Amino acid sequence: MREMTALIADDAEPMRSLLRSSLRHLGCQVVKEVDNGGAVVEAIAASRPDIVFLDINMPGSNGLAVMQQIVADNLHPYIVIISGDDSVENIQAALYGGAKSFFAKPYKLAKIEQILKDCADCLENAKLISALVADDDPLMRKLLGKVLAQFNCSISFEAEDGKQALASIASYVPDIVFLDIEMPGLSGLETLREIRQKHPNLFTVMVSGHSSIENVKTAIGAGANGFIVKPFAADKVRQVLEKFRTARAKP
């Protein structure tokens, strides 16, 4: 995983120094520091950090108000609100307003490490998934593409049959493959068996208009990682992509 980047917004230099040292010790690069709320949004837009540590009480603009502006501007960093006041009101205002975590001063290394791990997991799940969809019906390919786009998955390659799918995989291996079972020429199951020989770990999902137990058993027995039925239900597609992300996260 690449090194994460952070922005620290806190008007107290000793606090910034302590947090900076801890982050660097844990392998996170601090790309920007600001000492007032009014400079935060511009600094985020310029440096595009993965994670922002945002103090509540700063001159210029309150940290909670700054957070609202960050969210409104769709800048999308992983926001951590920091404060010496860990009252229920502050914690609720932070988490309900868009922060991913609340961090009370003084800083504890173990807590910082957990926050970075949570941020890394979030970044991993946000990665755009590259998909290959093989189906002889262009409308079905288009419909599946629209559903996949809802969950940060993009079709990189389309194929009308198994032969085209294998040729595409030979030139560029996608993250995930969706294979229609019934295709002219090389069927989906035949294509799956070819994939398993050359790419045993490639996450492959079978697609069919028939949800019979026989179809599902045959697909799973041939090595499929999942099975979805046409027409494509968003919840079922989401479950398959969550399964893929879980599998990808394993060492």
Number of domains in the chain: 2
Amino acid identity of residue 122, one-letter, is C
**Domain edge (last residue) among 94, 126, 158:** 126
Domain that holds residue 101: 5-126
180 and 81 fall within a common domain: no
Neighbouring C-beta atoms of residue 147, cutoff 10 Å: 19
Question: Do 144 and 97 share a structural domain?
Answer: no
Q: Given this model, what pLDDT does residue 41 score?
A: 92
| pLDDT given at position 2 | 60
CATH number, domain at 56?
A: 3.40.50.2300
**Residue 150 and residue 87 share a domain:** no
Res 251: pLDDT: 61
Domain final residue pick, 97, 126, 155: 126
Instruction: Name the domain boundary from 92, 110, 126.
Output: 126
Q: Are 14 and 50 in the same domain?
A: yes
The answer to whether the CB of 220 falls within 8 A of the CB of 212 is no
Q: How far apart are alpha carbons 211 and 227 in whole angstroms?
A: 9
- Would you give per-residue pLDDT tens digits along the chain (251 residues)? 468 999 999 999 999 999 999 999 999 999 999 999 999 999 998 888 999 999 999 998 889 999 988 888 777 789 999 999 999 999 999 998 889 899 898 888 999 999 999 888 888 776 788 999 999 999 999 999 999 988 888 898 999 999 999 999 998 889 999 999 999 999 999 999 999 999 999 999 999 888 778 878 888 888 999 999 888 888 899 999 989 988 877 76
